[in-house]
Amino acid sequence: MMGPMSDSETSYELLDFGDGRKLERFGTVVLNRPCPAAEGVEKSRPELWDTITARFRGPRTGDGSWTPQPKTWMPEEWCFALEVDAPFRLKLEALPSGQVGVFPEQRGNWEWIARQLAKPQAMLGRALKVLNLFAYTGGSTLAAAAAGAEVVHIDAAQNIVDRARENAAFSGLAERPIRWIAEDAMKFCRRELKRGKQYDAVILDPPKFADARRHLDAALRGYKDINLLALKLLRPGGLLISFSCSGLVGRDLFQKAIADAAVDAGRHLRILHWLDQASDHAVAVTFPEGSYLKGIVGRVE
């Protein structure tokens, strides 16, 4: 467990956003990173971009670089804290992909997940069973666990699962009922279906499926296929919390993919709510693809 850290060491701020990049403060560190969704938006505070800790250049496939090198500036204990009803912390690290171990644009959604999952548990008098697919470093897992749910955390990458588990320990949630599994999400879901398992909620946040327009049809099939499995695993009354971070897949197309999945799964699904990227990640009206993160929340009958 990490020692206590002050708010200024753990808090996050999006300082500016534009010209394909974002300027963010993670605790005491200010980073200038690429951000495809910031295309088509002009920087609104150009003067802030001169005083940064580090800048990332290169592709997000893993072989870009930070200037200066992280070893010269990366704090030994560096983390992102969500201080809500169900608080947790995610350890940060400057990675060669330009990522730092958290997608801060999800933070409002983690708060929402924690609040929404706490309510039915109080009514049911038992812990909810939650499946979190493509679970990355554990934001949604820890939000659900901190709210009292039993969680199954699935990510294909063992090192990412290890990091999520470390984040649970940093957050004081190591003893919570969380199963940590490194496996392909589709394979895991098919096996759970064979075993007759059912969940009260399935959360899924796959990587970007559509990078270019020519990938759109395949991306929509991908969203349909994984959501079909998720819907089949929900008990009647269960919640689907399904994200897409493909800017090219707008709400209408995403809803259509989910509708196709519900029809094929033979489940009635009502949309209760839409989730979004944090409101500081503004979208230019002329660049709708900037609205990349969207989440549909539905209840199955």
Q: What residues line the site for ligand SAM (CB under 6 A)?
A: 103, 106, 134-137, 139-140, 154-157, 160, 184-185, 205-207, 245
- Least distance (Å) between residue 172 CB and ligand SAM: 19
19 versus 225: smaller Cβ distance to ligand SAM: 225
**What 3-state class would DSSP assign to 45?**
coil
Question: Percent helix, strand and coil across the chain, each rounded to 5?
Answer: 35, 25, 40
179 versus 268: smaller Cβ distance to ligand SAM: 179
- Least distance (Å) between residue 110 CB and ligand SAM: 8
Contact at 8 Å (CB) between 78 and 91?
yes
71 versus 188: smaller Cβ distance to ligand SAM: 188
Q: Which residues touch 140 (CB under 8 Å, ≥6 apart)?
A: 106, 109, 110, 113, 132, 203, 205, 241
Backbone angles phi and psi of 53, in degrees to 5: -85, -45
Contact at 8 Å (CB) between 181 and 188?
yes
Of 48, 18, 6, the closest CA to residue 30 belongs to 48
Of 165, 229, 175, 155, the closest CA to residue 199 belongs to 229
**What 3-state class would DSSP assign to 2?**
coil
d(CA 5, CA 58): 32
Catalytic residues: 245
- Least distance (Å) between residue 54 CB and ligand SAM: 21
15 versus 245: smaller Cβ distance to ligand SAM: 245
297, with CB counted inside 10 A (0-12, 13-18, 19+), is buried
- Least distance (Å) between residue 122 CB and ligand SAM: 26
- Least distance (Å) between residue 51 CB and ligand SAM: 28
69 versus 225: smaller Cβ distance to ligand SAM: 225
